[in-house]
Structure 1
Amino acid sequence: MKKQYAVIGLGRFGGSMVKALSDQGMEVLAIDIDEERVNEFSNIATHAVIADTTDESVLKSLGIRNFQHVVVAIGDNLQASILTTLILKEMGVEKITVKAQNDYHEKVLKKIGADKIIHPERDMGIRIAHQIVSSSVLDYLELSEEHSMVELKASEKMNGKNLIELDIRARFGCNVVAVRRGKEIYVSPQANQSIHQGDILIVIGRDKDINRLEKHMTNES
């Protein structure tokens, strides 16, 4: 049985969520108070409806409690975002992800029990900044205030060495959880896994340890 998702708010972020989930073959209910936006996604989502989600009776009529995951992507209307999240929580929705506009909004969402809070613009800014600063960083994902997961491009000095010789965990305190080489991906690589220049290392660790590893990789001396 396919997992069912509902996305409330069909702006740029919510709309991209609907498209991405639909592309993955998921069942998606797209909701917005604006008729024009709903019409735009009527042929993309499984169902697209015009609704005011600050009205509990409306959400009940949509059977929103039956959805395993609801994404609240309401744009500039903080009150609507907060009230919608509160109603969903009181109705017992299994998982609620909410787009936050600012730190104040995030604090309120945490207090009322949102399961996951995201800042798309801030998070994307952080990812791009890491890519700009270091030529070895291909992607970056913040896991907590102190820990991250990054994709690092193996440098020339790593070419032909295996993970035992590189000793990344002992020297830098980071864990290589996967290695990608072209279309091949090696998950939980063995210690004797050889590394070629241009391989992509998926690394998890503390930010300060990852930064040390980045500097080492870009210093070819």
Structure 2
Amino acid sequence: MKKEFAVIGLGRFGGSICQALSEEGLEVMAIDIDEDKVNAYANIASHAVVGDTTDETVLKSIGIRNFDHVIVAIGDNIQASILTTLILKELGVNDITVKATNDYHEKVLSKIGANRIVHPERDMGKRIAHKIVSNNVLDYLELSDEHSIVEISANHKINGQSIIDLDIRAKYGVNIVAIKRNKEIIVSPQANEIIQSQDVLIVIGADSDINRFEKRLLGD
């Protein structure tokens, strides 16, 4: 059976999640206190409901505990976000992802049991910063405070060299988990794989090691 999702809060963040899940063919209920926002997603989500999710009876009435995953994407109203999350936990929702607007908000959400806490604005800012400061970094995904997956564009300096020749894991402590080459993706490349100058290396490791690898090996 397909998982069923509920998205609470249909601002830019919640709305984009709702649309992306719907485009994957998943069952999504869109919920917001603003009727205009709900109407905007009536033809996108499987179901669209106007409701105040800080009211336990409202959440019970829409059967929120039956959903596999609930995303709380309430933006400006931190109190509503926290109260909604608390009620979801009390009602027994198993998987809850919540958007945090600041560190204080994150601390409270963590204490009341949110399964995942995301900072879309902060995380996007980091991704943009990484792209700005390096010509080689194409994309960046933070795994934790200290570890990331990064897409790095290979250049002429390593063109024609194999992974084992470069000895990247031993020298820099990072792993190349895949290589994008034109439309092909080479997953878990062999040690004798020859890197080409137009390749995109998908690298995983500690941020400090990735930065060292990017600067010393690929830097101009």
Shared fold, TM over 0.5: yes
Q: Normalised by the size of structure 1, how large is the TM-score?
A: 0.97
Q: Which amino acid aligns with 1:77?
A: N
Q: Is the 8 A contact 2:157 2:218 kept in 1?
A: no
Q: Is the 8 A contact 1:177 1:189 kept in 2?
A: yes
Q: State percent identity of aligned pairs.
A: 70
TM-superposed deviation, 1:217: 3.6
> Number of paired residues?
220
Q: Which amino acid aligns with 2:126?
A: I
2: CA distance, partners of 1:184 / 1:71: 33
TM-superposed deviation, 1:218: 3.3
Determine the structure 2 residue equivalent to 1:30.
30
1: CA distance, partners of 2:114 / 2:166: 41
Is the partner of 2:157 in helix, strand or coil? helix
Can you give the 5+ residue segments of structure 1 that lack an aligned partner in the other structure? Answer: none
Determine the structure 2 residue equivalent to 1:215.
215
2: CA distance, partners of 1:182 / 1:89: 46
Q: What pairs up with 1:53-72 in 2 under 5 angstroms?
A: 53-72=53-72
Is 1:6 the counterpart of 2:6? The answer is yes
2: CA distance, partners of 1:217 / 1:41: 47
TM-superposed deviation, 1:55: 1.1
Determine the structure 1 residue equivalent to 2:154.
154
Is the partner of 1:126 in helix, strand or coil? helix
1: CA distance, partners of 2:23 / 2:97: 19
Q: Is the 8 A contact 2:154 2:218 kept in 1?
A: no
1: CA distance, partners of 2:219 / 2:78: 46
Determine the structure 1 residue equivalent to 2:46.
46
Q: Is the 8 A contact 1:179 1:185 kept in 2?
A: yes
Is the partner of 2:108 in helix, strand or coil? helix
Residues 113-164 of structure 1: per-residue CA shift (max 9 Å, x gap) = 0011111111000000000000110111111111111011111111111111
Residues 57-106 of structure 1: per-residue CA shift (max 9 Å, x gap) = 11111111111111000011111100000111111112100000111100
Can you give the 5+ residue segments of structure 2 that lack an aligned partner in the other structure? Answer: none
TM-superposed deviation, 1:167: 1.0
Q: Is the 8 A contact 2:34 2:50 kept in 1?
A: yes
2: CA distance, partners of 1:217 / 1:17: 37
Q: Is the 8 A contact 1:135 1:218 kept in 2?
A: no
Q: Which amino acid aligns with 2:185?
A: I
Q: Which amino acid aligns with 2:3?
A: K
2: CA distance, partners of 1:219 / 1:137: 11
Is 1:126 the counterpart of 2:145? The answer is no
Q: Is the 8 A contact 1:154 1:217 kept in 2?
A: no
Q: Normalised by the size of structure 2, how large is the TM-score?
A: 0.97
Is the partner of 1:98 in helix, strand or coil? strand
TM-superposed deviation, 1:216: 2.1
2: CA distance, partners of 1:99 / 1:209: 29
1: CA distance, partners of 2:132 / 2:217: 15
Determine the structure 1 residue equivalent to 2:172.
172
Determine the structure 2 residue equivalent to 1:97.
97
Q: Which amino acid aligns with 2:49?
A: V
My pick for the range that moved more, 130-139 or 88-97, is 88-97
Determine the structure 1 residue equivalent to 2:83.
83
